[in-house]
Structure 1
């Protein structure tokens, strides 16, 4: 957790590796996951680098692996997944092994591909033979039935029927059913109704041996008595509609002979297909268990060669030179990885040296499965500058809490909490599921959902709201000083605050408020003031966090010139506003003996704050005081005056300080010219070196730009202090909206079933409860939850983080086989 407060200390190192052990050394560094290589050839085309040939060979092997996997999936075989297979269980293969695998893989891929293509061709031929056989059988049965009808009616003899049938000019084929009617209309128009088309009742289903689907086929017979010209027209129409034409013998004996030959051909072809599938299955089984290992090894080898392409070549020493960022704490771990990568034949050990640089290092936080989701929320806005305080550490608590202030309902929070428990408890099983990008987002934020549900349960308990209803745990603290008949007969009865009570309700809102007609007015005031209080505290904390950055960047002057005027300005205006809220709650009471301290004389905080800003006054009610305490007007005038002074303090303080510092630097430089070299060295050495950060770069700009930048920064802070305070009112607005939606669903949906007194009431309860539960999950939990999540995200990104966070850094992305394989998968 300590590393989340600020980025780990990063150092830039230079590594000298002998060429013959470079592959093995980088492989060890990929397992260590500690170094981020810098590209020393950023101006060189990717196709002109030293190891581009090796990268291409690895990509070709990946293509072959994917081709084999496609054939396996096409064959309805599943590729076994080894749960023990991970980036650490199987290291990158040796360089000689990867090239041996390339040769073997080419042979495997060629054999399997040829067998698969032969199987496809055989099945396609089998489909055509089966279709032709079924067409001939159907047409043979059709003409046989026609002949029998004519013979039975003694209209024609068997010999005459055969002779007439042989003289027919006919075409037999198959067409898709959806094209049948268009096909027949086209034939009728082209032949001028001189051709007879028969297709009704001539349909059959054909099982496609390739896809396994049942395909509907429509058989047609075209009979005409014209010459060859009309036949050629009809054939062109058949070709245009993608109809399959088959030759049809015109004698009974020839038809039977052809059908017999087709049946024998189908039988032989079926046997050949089975033998081909057996050979293909054997070829697949021989490599099926090794595919995952090969695929992982190829990806690792490809990543190693891509990393080697970032290295520079030292020809004189016959070695490769790499530059990399790494955490200072992992220096020994990297040195061990370098030593492990050295082979026995290599006499020269890899050399690791730390080099000085003015480049800004990458930002690196060590996160766990719990903190990773919160860190991703911050990184989505912008990666923290190196050395800058990390807001994610505090967001772990503030984010779910502010969400819960808007989403506060014990029942809805319990639903979120149960979902979070399910995602976290079975995370190892659910991590392997691939249910789309939205699922990955929800699963990545599982611990955020868990805490949001837990905090929502707490705030719902404080609001005393469970699906818009209240819980009477400690009995109401109000005492009703009326008899039963008065309470039941007077709907406008009011409880007098002056009456004796049992004391303050132990925790949260008294449940009797849920029965009051002025419930909305009470909760409106309560939640609005609570939102302002939380907002001002949150902004105060953000401004105070800037002190941490100034101290770490060794800029104590900024504490005086930036932090102090900002905190005074915020405290004297909006801190004072929060103070007046608490003072009003304490000062005024319904039981006060003095009229000026009674609840009716309590002034409006908003009106008082506006009068304070405009130096105005309002006439109080008779018997009341304009101010809460003596001397309040003078105190407010002093606060406003000091706040106005803070504006030029923020505007001119830092630019004038930089101008003074530059003048002092010029005086020192002019003095050094008159001092001998040895003495000037003594004057320079005591000043400690410090890493360059973003503010150093801004301070080195021309003075005019610094004044403009500071003016923009000051105007933005002054205006945003007002707008950001108002922005926290979204806590109040969304909380009221959520409570009212829950109440509407209860009264307008579920109450319809609860009020039923008929014998079928239990059926109504069953049906209406289902509708109420669906609306609750979809509208109140999912839609309202997403809305509250986005508003909470905005409060952190804009209102909180803008007080101290620049977010101009870049992430540390170590060379890691684990992350590379996860990204590609």
Structure 2
């Protein structure tokens, strides 16, 4: 638990592994997930590293597995996922895996090619069957006495477009000015199938290219046909074209080829057509049988592959990750040992040694691995131990910036402060209950929801922050009880402590009095406060907003000052750990004094005002009545400006004896802290540097005098001091500038950050008012309808009100309060002590690699 408050202690280690044991040892370290390897070959190309061939083999195996997965998904076959993670196979097992994948891919590709060829034959036979069926109508007309040639020629001459279906009178084919004997006219025709959407353009091209000397008839195929290449369903039409001569025949065939129309033989004799149709039907039946057998074989192959494909993916990805990691290692001069450098947590060194020992035993090597700690000046990575509960809060902190090494971690404190400050803005028991139920549902269904691997980014964000959502809902329920606000209504649990005392009857009051004024000074009313939260009578009061404004505004300032003081105190623990005494004396102490003497004093004035002033009718105690209660804001402004607070003659301008003198002392002390923060640290460092330079120069002069050669060393020393003085002066100027920026930021930030916490009051008031408006303008309308229609109206209006409540008040207002709370932690709280300049610890972990691969979009 100690590493949660501060990042874990890290060390740089050097690892020596035998070549035959390196694979198994890295595999064990990947399962452990506690080692971050460094690249010892940064200048070596990725294609020139030692294990590049093994990585390529893994890429090829992944490609084959993706092909199998694509085919499995195409057939809708469920893939078995046991949730287990098999160990990385040994290198010798790669050959068996490659052979298995090669066999499956070849078999599946062969089956697919055969199926595609069969489907293409089936498509051709189906189209030919449709041609024989659709063109039969035209030939029946010819056999019934209507000459198709005469119909064709009459249509070609009399119409300005290609002739369509219908019987026409006897007209000669050809141009009008020519006369040809019908006995010599022997028409040719072609029949085929074309995509339905290409028919209009096809007709226009035939008309223009053939100059109207063609006769086209077409009929739509009602059922869609399957494209054997893509598997899509397409709609096609049957056509038959009559023309004269070989020249037109060549031209028509080229046009058909250009429009990708498929031509089929169509006999003119009825007996030949019937015989061909019977043969086509027989072949179609045979093809259906073969296609069914082919699909069954394909299905069996895919079902067998679906049972193991998840485990195969895990194995291949683990092998690939191991060889990628081995490419980061160096070879020693004997080419028999691999050398690696890695960052590891100090507390986990024993576990890492055990993992290396297991890997050595698995490989059968007799030489144990060697793990040596190294000294380095590099900044170690930051590693915070987290679990499923703390991971979400740690992610909020890391989004701002990774903590510097061994810096105080704000995450454990954020677990409480974040949902609490959120709840101050989102204080409604009903809305908090909805949020808590949603978060609780995700927590209860954690395992099945995590196993689904949903691709939605919004859902993954919600699920990753399920514990945050649950705590925000629970804390909102608490603050909702404090505010006594449940869907903008109050709960009278303990009975109101305000009582109406009058001689009039209730009916008379309702008839003649629009409002009743309750006097808190009267003993008949508020004898003692409401046991928990606000009295429900405030829900009916006209001055409810005024009362809640004053209450929530003061609470926001109190919480804000306490939160910032806690952030400043965190900097003390950082300075104590890093033994930075200068920052404690010249930064922490004046910062605390400045914040306490001004802003914490303002908080104390609020408590003094609450305790001192009370409602009373006694004239002798009028100076302690609410009439004489001073404004805290005006008092604070006058305190800083050294002005007197003007009040009525009957009132006392101060709340306690000696207030004016104490306030002046506090302001003066707070103002003295500004030059303390601004100048003390740079001046102290500058004097220390001058003392060091003087002591070094004095020692050099003494040694030169003892050696009998004082003149030359003194000249050299003078030059060095001059150079050092120039460099130090540059550094000192930068230090003064940096300290000035830090001081101005803190002084002005104390004011702006205090005002920033007023968002707690503003959003809380806005949320309450929006909830009340939604109740009064939507749901209350359903309660005003009488009779049986009221039930129907209430049912409809309640549904509308519930949708608006969830979408606006829970989701939108919840998101707004979440972002404001995040800002209060990032800026107002963490800026007091948190640098966030570190880099994250990224260990070699199979779990992380597999999670990343499962959420990445699949490659085609």
Counterpart of 1:649 in structure 2 is: 676
* Aligned mates of 1:363, 1:164 — CA distance in 2: 99
Aligned pair partner of 2:117 in 95, 116, 121? 121
Asked whether the 8 Å contact 1:3–1:365 carries over to 2, the reply is: yes
1:27 maps to 2:27: yes
Aligned pair partner of 1:418 in 417, 422, 437? 437
* Aligned mates of 2:479, 2:319 — CA distance in 1: 53
Counterpart of 1:460 in structure 2 is: 480
Matches within 5 A, 1:540-619: 540-591=565-616, 593=619, 594-619=621-646
Cα offset for 1:105? 2.6
Asked whether the 8 Å contact 1:203–1:219 carries over to 2, the reply is: no
Counterpart of 2:517 in structure 1 is: 494
Counterpart of 2:177 in structure 1 is: none
Pick closer, same or farther for the CA change 1:37–1:701 going to 2, 3 Å.
farther
Aligned pair partner of 1:339 in 352, 357, 371? 357
Structure 1 unaligned regions, length at least 5:
157-162, 677-698
Cα offset for 1:625? 3.6
1:640 maps to 2:667: yes
* Aligned mates of 2:184, 2:731 — CA distance in 1: 104
Matches within 5 A, 1:310-321: 310-316=328-334, 318-321=336-339
Asked whether the 8 Å contact 1:543–1:804 carries over to 2, the reply is: yes
Matches within 5 A, 1:282-431: 282-284=300-302, 287-316=305-334, 318-343=336-361, 346-431=365-450
Deviations 1:538-593 (A, max 9, x none): 11110011011001111133211111111111111111221222222222222164
Pick closer, same or farther for the CA change 1:625–1:244 going to 2, 3 Å.
farther
Cα offset for 1:423? 0.2
Pick closer, same or farther for the CA change 1:183–1:725 going to 2, 3 Å.
farther
Cα offset for 1:121? 2.7
Pick closer, same or farther for the CA change 1:165–1:595 going to 2, 3 Å.
farther
- Please report the RMSD computed on the Cα atoms of aligned residues, expressed in angstroms: 2.9
User: What is the TM-score with the length of structure 1 in the denominator?
Assistant: 0.90
Counterpart of 2:558 in structure 1 is: 533
Cα offset for 1:178? 4.1
Asked whether the 8 Å contact 1:71–1:113 carries over to 2, the reply is: no
1:748 maps to 2:767: no
Deviations 1:447-496 (A, max 9, x none): 00110110011011111111111100011111212332235521143222
* Aligned mates of 1:237, 1:557 — CA distance in 2: 91
Matches within 5 A, 1:621-636: 621-636=648-663
Deviations 1:311-332 (A, max 9, x none): 1221147311111111111111
Cα offset for 1:712? 1.0
Matches within 5 A, 1:163-182: 167-181=186-200
1:769 maps to 2:789: no
Structure 2 unaligned regions, length at least 5:
148-166, 169-181, 704-727, 855-860
Counterpart of 1:95 in structure 2 is: 91
Deviations 1:274-298 (A, max 9, x none): 3333443454455443333332222
1:513 maps to 2:538: yes
Pick closer, same or farther for the CA change 1:109–1:352 going to 2, 3 Å.
same
Pick closer, same or farther for the CA change 1:755–1:238 going to 2, 3 Å.
farther
1:62 maps to 2:62: yes
* Aligned mates of 1:723, 1:264 — CA distance in 2: 89
Asked whether the 8 Å contact 1:165–1:250 carries over to 2, the reply is: no
Mean CA deviation greater in 773-782 or 104-113: 104-113
- Secondary structure in 1 matching 2:135: helix
Matches within 5 A, 1:115-154: 115-144=111-140, 147-148=143-144
Asked whether the 8 Å contact 2:187–2:245 carries over to 1, the reply is: no
Matches within 5 A, 1:209-288: 214-223=233-242, 238-239=256-257, 241-284=259-302, 287-288=305-306
Pick closer, same or farther for the CA change 1:46–1:765 going to 2, 3 Å.
same
Structure with max Cα Rg: 2
Counterpart of 1:759 in structure 2 is: 788
Counterpart of 1:693 in structure 2 is: none
Aligned pair partner of 2:471 in 445, 448, 451? 451
Asked whether the 8 Å contact 1:166–1:250 carries over to 2, the reply is: no
Counterpart of 2:462 in structure 1 is: 442
Cα offset for 1:307? 0.9
1:817 maps to 2:846: yes
Asked whether the 8 Å contact 1:204–1:218 carries over to 2, the reply is: no
* Aligned mates of 2:742, 2:496 — CA distance in 1: 52
Asked whether the 8 Å contact 2:429–2:485 carries over to 1, the reply is: yes
Counterpart of 1:107 in structure 2 is: 103
Deviations 1:648-704 (A, max 9, x none): 11111222232234345446656887999xxxxxxxxxxxxxxxxxxxxxx999222
Pick closer, same or farther for the CA change 1:259–1:759 going to 2, 3 Å.
same
* Aligned mates of 1:391, 1:407 — CA distance in 2: 23
Asked whether the 8 Å contact 1:207–1:213 carries over to 2, the reply is: yes
Asked whether the 8 Å contact 1:202–1:220 carries over to 2, the reply is: no
- Secondary structure in 1 matching 2:331: strand
1:660 maps to 2:670: no
Counterpart of 2:176 in structure 1 is: none
Asked whether the 8 Å contact 1:24–1:342 carries over to 2, the reply is: yes
Asked whether the 8 Å contact 2:17–2:337 carries over to 1, the reply is: yes
Counterpart of 1:800 in structure 2 is: 829
Deviations 1:359-381 (A, max 9, x none): 11111111111111111111111
Mean CA deviation greater in 311-320 or 339-348: 339-348
Alignment length, in residue pairs?
A: 790
* Aligned mates of 1:405, 1:285 — CA distance in 2: 56
1:736 maps to 2:732: no
